[in-house]
Amino acid sequence: MNDKAAILGGLQAQIYWLHDAEKFTELASAAATIYLTLGYTQQQAETAGNLISEAYKLADEAVFAQKVGDFDKELQFYYQVKDKLTEVETVLGYQTSIAIYQMKWWLYFRHKKKLQILVNLFLQNFQALGLFHLFTAIKLTYFLMEIGRVHKSRDLETTKHNAIKYWLELLRINPSQYPYLG
């Protein structure tokens, strides 16, 4: 197994649990470590990690708005999530924006709309990787769907295993832009 993929997969799985535990400082640190491992500078990584943590907090606020039936407020929070993730892209120097797709699959995940989750996960990967890596984008989408499925059942080891497979596949192609934003 690729050591880098194991590190990245472990951190990715850890982020989901830190989010569930509302440990946002640790979540920011784990996200920053992902970007350091990918070769970004300390400043880029820390800024991206903090923005990703803020996006998770805003997504939680959106869930609270959803629970009280305030759809407009929920959407406002999700668009703030998109803005935070767009800032991450800017900090990392991404050429193609994928933040809208990540924001949408987060929204649809919470609304349990499986087809829309799948479409937006795929678009996030496809947009970042392009037509040349269509099959990789499909595989990455599958791994992310599996990560979400087993995370919901609170299976940390299988979540980590799927996250490692995700990173093995992604690192194999050495993309110019990563489709992962936290």
Q: What is the pLDDT, as a whole number, of residue 153? A: 65
According to the model, what pLDDT value does residue 151 have? 65
Residue identified by tokens 């832009």 is 177
pLDDT value of residue 152: 66
Q: What pTM was estimated for this model as a whole?
A: 0.94
Q: What is the pLDDT of residues 127-177, one digit of tens each?
A: 999 999 999 999 999 999 998 887 666 778 889 999 999 999 999 999 989
Token code pair at residue 25: 């400082």
Mean pLDDT of the chain: 94
CB of 52 closer than 8 Å to CB of 16: no
* Amino acid found at 126: F
Q: So what's the pLDDT on residue 41? A: 98
Burial class (CB in 10 A: 0-12, 13-18, 19+), 70: middle
Amino acid at 96: T
Low-confidence ranges of the chain (pLDDT < 70): 1, 151-153
User: How far is residue 80's CA from residue 98's CA, in Å, rounded to a whole number?
Assistant: 15
CB 78 within 8 A of CB 90: no
